A and B are shown apart, each in its own frame.
Chain A
């Protein structure tokens, strides 16, 4: 009895002491209230911003650093940290060394091996505000989340001041990539450093085989050519589906993370849009359901089962080993399939534009731009402007060319680069025009705030449809219901504002089609 009493008091004491300590510590946990934005105060519209001198973006960036140093805002040896994916090491690290040599600053790399963990790191930084990262190289469709979480600064002003030559002039990015890799709610919150437009790769050797050409002509009454519409594409794939020879017709993603790509390409080219102007989902429309039915048929009849169960790397093993007739993926699949170290089909690879749908005689193609990387700048950086100068320098027409030509995750995005010998060597001269054409028809992933959740929930239900667990119509309806919940939770008004801006980043032919169908007025 005595013992119990003794313990009780001790425990009470500890509890009280602990709570007191906890209260004190808890208050220290709350960082200082959000500081006033480090972004330049937006001047009254129309006020001209003084331009920085220099002939090229790179020069202006370096001059900017000089000016910042002269103003005492930064000094030699100051450290700036760039968070990026391990796959971009080759693109970034050599460039950092050169930049540090040119500026005397100390820019260092902090890499992450898992893409998803970059998002985690970024969001954690938004919560904890350690200032341990200055620049983020992240998926394009995370910009909204980062901006709304108050983590990154609006770069619009610096774009005026330093002119990165992203959206105009002979060095411009391929439109519309210049827009959707940087804009959120009409402001430049990031700078694109990549081009993740999908391209379709196929077996050129089989297409050039006279026997195949004859058999195809006999069967369909037209010449064997690269298909232009999704309808032709489906026939083409079925024709070349040879399970008995260990080669299936196609690999298109139907798995947990990118299942939406194939469906979205058909859906959008049919004139579909993810949302209307009130953020009510439009995916259950006839366009959406037909597109999914076609995709499910294609995957279930003409693809290996790991299109549904594998991950994104499946395309990079299936196609180069010759076990599928055609496959689509990021530009790197072309490099991978033409490299004798990794491929059994070197010299047999053709690349083609992504098919589309014909509307009143006009062929409208919609090419998914899947993820993609862009640079944004932390509000908690010692000098956001110095960081801006670095990204402008890195993405510049000259430095960017060198950086992107090195093997890494980042791909070609400025228009003049498509004629550079260096790039022709890196990508193959035949592939570059195809990639350029596809890029011009590229449409972005959902890039609203909460994009991760919108896309994940969509994928979840699409994958169930591909696995035969759900009817296509039901899958889309379920996804639409989940989308409504997300929109309501995050605030519909703000999402509407963002979506109305975002849909203007789609390629012009698609926007025209929307207007024609009366989905959107402008």
Chain B
């Protein structure tokens, strides 16, 4: 009896309870990720391709040469810049559209709301391969989009979507926005649903305008959720691969190549696994630094609460 009490007490001790709660996650991450991660780091420090006929653990040591090579690799650096640009444009649009839609759906009551919300969520439920194929076909030279343009504006209106790099990137961004605005909508809409109504009701009785309520009450309360949605989405968009691979293959030349596509080519097509590992670690460091800067204000705010 005494022992059991101690046990329960221990379970309810804040420190131990906290540790216990995070334990399953820790174990899983350590179990699945830590060894592959060590292998990645090791690979980035050697010079190895499977076709060299040497086993990976016997490959000659290369020091930081792979990293130095990456920092001078024009194709890598341009792909990096291009990907960052794509993320800013696509995620920015997804955020604004998702926010607007979520507010609209939160405020309005109309029949069939659940059905329409389902429709809005639909694009992200399709397998990515299908989304890529769908947009690839839509924007083909002789695809439906050009057909509509031609029948509206005459034969001169046909656009070569994949030939001009800027247009091709816009098409890719469009596909991404179409596919992932639903995510922003989902997170923000559920965030709005989780807001406590009293402050809003209080402000309303005080005669605040809709904009004031949003700006000074809803927005601050929603901010953690908004930040999380933005960060998660930006991290995912940064890895954009399927759409680029299917729609342009990175072409013409490398003018629409994303970072992940270049990594794929380096690692899987050229078989330069150790160079790919070095580039990936550089990307990890860069993204981690940026994300850290983005997360910090969020954490500070939560601590201040």
Contacts and interface: CB of A to CB of B under 8 A. Distances in A.
Contacts of B255: 469
A318 to B, nearest CB: 9
Given A126-B50, A490-B51, A25 B35 contact: yes
Interface in A22-54: 22, 25-26, 29-30, 33-34
B271 A145 contact: yes
Interface string B218-261: 00000000000000000000000000000011111111000000
A450 B52 CA distance: 9
A30 B168 CA distance: 44
B39 interface: yes
Contacts of B19: 10
Given A18-B30, A452-B270, A145 B141 contact: no
A148 B34 contact: no
Contacts of A26: 35, 38-39
Interface centre among A116, A256, A464, A469 (most CB of B within 10 A): A256
Interface in A441-493: 449-450, 452-453, 456, 460-461, 463-464, 466-467, 469-470, 489-491
A327 to B, nearest CB: 15
Contacts of B34: 18, 22
Given A6-B15, A148-B53, A456 B269 contact: yes
A150 B54 CA distance: 9
A29 B35 contact: yes
A469 B271 contact: no
Contact of B35 (A22, A33, A304): A22
Given A116-B269, A119-B268, A450-B270, A309 B163 contact: yes
Contacts of B72: none
Interface in B156-174: 160, 162-163, 168
A3 B141 CA distance: 64
A460 B268 CA distance: 16
A305 B265 CA distance: 25
A173 B57 CA distance: 42
Contact of B271 (A123, A305, A323): A123
B49 A490 contact: yes
Interface residues of B, number: 36
Contacts, number: 111
A245 interface: no
Interface string A297-321: 0000000111011110000010000
Contacts of A450: 51, 270-271
A123 B52 CA distance: 12
Contacts of B163: 305, 308-309, 467
A191 B89 CA distance: 50
B271 A464 contact: no
B51 A309 contact: no
Interface in B31-55: 34-35, 38-39, 49-53, 55
Given A6-B15, A22-B35, A460-B254, A127 B50 contact: yes
A29 B35 CA distance: 9
14 contacts: A22-B34, A123-B271, A145-B51, A148-B52, A256-B249, A256-B250, A305-B160, A308-B163, A309-B141, A309-B162, A309-B251, A317-B142, A450-B270, A463-B251
Given A123-B271, A149-B53, A256-B251, 15 more contacts: A14-B26, A14-B30, A18-B30, A26-B39, A123-B50, A145-B271, A149-B51, A305-B163, A308-B252, A309-B252, A317-B142, A456-B270, A460-B253, A463-B253, A490-B49
6 interchain residue pairs of minimum CB distance? A467-B252, A309-B162, A464-B253, A453-B270, A256-B249, A256-B251
Interface of A: 3, 6, 10, 14, 18, 21-22, 25-26, 29-30, 33-34, 116, 119-120, 123, 126-127, 144-145, 148-150, 255-257, 304-306, 308-311, 317, 323, 449-450, 452-453, 456, 460-461, 463-464, 466-467, 469-470, 489-491
